[in-house]
Structure 1
Amino acid sequence: MKIVMIGEAATHRDEIADQLDFKAEFAALPREAHESDAWDRQIDGADVLVAMRFQRRGAPPRFRLLHAPGAGLDGIDFAALPPGCTVCNVFEHEIPMAEYTLACMLDHEIGLGAARASFDNRRWSQSYLERKPRGELNGKTVVVIGFGRIGQAVAARARAFGLEVVAISSRAMDGKVEGPADRAFTPRQLNEVLPHADYVVLCCPLNDATRDSFGAPQFSAMSRDAVLINIARAAIVNEQALYSALSDQRIAGAYLDVWYRYPAGGGEAVPPSFYDFAALPNAFCTPHISGWTQGLFARRYAFIAGNITRQRNGEPLLNVVHDGRQATSRP
Structure 2
Amino acid sequence: MPLKVYYPRPKIGLYPREVDKQAWDLLQAALDPEIEFMIAPEIPDPADYHVLITGWPTKEQIEASPDLHTLVIPWAGLTESTREILQEYPQLNIHNLHHNAVPTAETALMLLFAAAKCILPIERKFRGHDWRPRYGPNPALLLSGKTMLILGYGAIGQQVGRVCQAMGLNILAIRRNPDAPALEDLQAEVHPPDALHKLLPFANVLMVTVPLTDETRGLIGKRELDLMPENSILVNVGRGPVVDQEALYKALKEGKLHSAGIDVWYNYPPDEDSRAHTPPADFPFYELDNVVMSPHRGGGASEVELLRMSHLAELLNAAVHGEPIPNKVDLKVGY
Category of TM-score, reference length = shorter chain: 0.7 to 0.9
Contact 2:237 2:263 in 1 (8 A): yes
Q: Which residue of 1 aligns with 2:100?
A: 93
Count how many residue pairs are aligned between Structure 1 and Structure 2. 308
Deviation at 1:271, TM superposition (A): 3.8
1:1-331 alignment, distance < 5 Å: 2-5=6-9, 11=15, 14=21, 15-16=23-24, 18-20=26-28, 24-28=37-41, 45=47, 47=49, 48-54=51-57, 61-63=63-65, 64=68, 65-75=70-80, 76-77=82-83, 79-80=86-87, 85-119=92-126, 132=138, 134-172=140-178, 180-263=186-269, 265-269=271-275, 270-308=278-316, 315-316=322-323, 318-319=325-326, 321=328
Cα distance in structure 2, aligned partners of 1:25 and 1:60: 15
Give the aligned residue type for 2:47: G
- Residues 113-161 of structure 1 deviation map (CA, whole Å, 9 limit, x = unaligned): 444444489876x776657484322111111111111111111100111
Contact 2:149 2:203 in 1 (8 A): yes
The range that moved more, 216-225 or 19-28, is: 19-28
- Residues 262-313 of structure 1 deviation map (CA, whole Å, 9 limit, x = unaligned): 34553455542233322233222101122211233212112224445666x5
After superposition, the Cα gap between the structure-2 partners of 1:6 and 1:252, relative to the gap in structure 1 and judged at 3 Å, is farther
Cα distance in structure 2, aligned partners of 1:8 and 1:229: 34
After superposition, the Cα gap between the structure-2 partners of 1:54 and 1:224, relative to the gap in structure 1 and judged at 3 Å, is farther
Contact 2:236 2:263 in 1 (8 A): yes
Contact 2:116 2:233 in 1 (8 A): no
Contact 1:98 1:150 in 2 (8 A): yes
SS at match of 1:218: helix
Contact 1:226 1:253 in 2 (8 A): yes
After superposition, the Cα gap between the structure-2 partners of 1:291 and 1:278, relative to the gap in structure 1 and judged at 3 Å, is same
Cα distance in structure 2, aligned partners of 1:223 and 1:138: 16
In structure 2, stretches of 5+ residues that fail to align are 331-335
Cα distance in structure 1, aligned partners of 2:174 and 2:123: 36
Give the aligned residue type for 1:217: R
Q: Kindly, what percent of the aligned residue pairs are identical?
A: 23
In structure 1, stretches of 5+ residues that fail to align are 29-38, 324-331
SS at match of 1:281: coil
Cα distance in structure 2, aligned partners of 1:84 and 1:243: 43
Give the aligned residue type for 1:66: L
Contact 2:233 2:259 in 1 (8 A): yes
Cα distance in structure 1, aligned partners of 2:243 and 2:128: 43
Cα distance in structure 1, aligned partners of 2:127 and 2:267: 40
In the superposition, the TM-score normalised over structure 2's length comes to 0.75
Cα distance in structure 1, aligned partners of 2:142 and 2:296: 26
Deviation at 1:83, TM superposition (A): 7.4
After superposition, the Cα gap between the structure-2 partners of 1:319 and 1:222, relative to the gap in structure 1 and judged at 3 Å, is same
SS at match of 2:40: strand
- If asked which structure has higher relative contact order (CA below 8 Å, sep 6+), I would say 2
Cα distance in structure 2, aligned partners of 1:43 and 1:263: 36
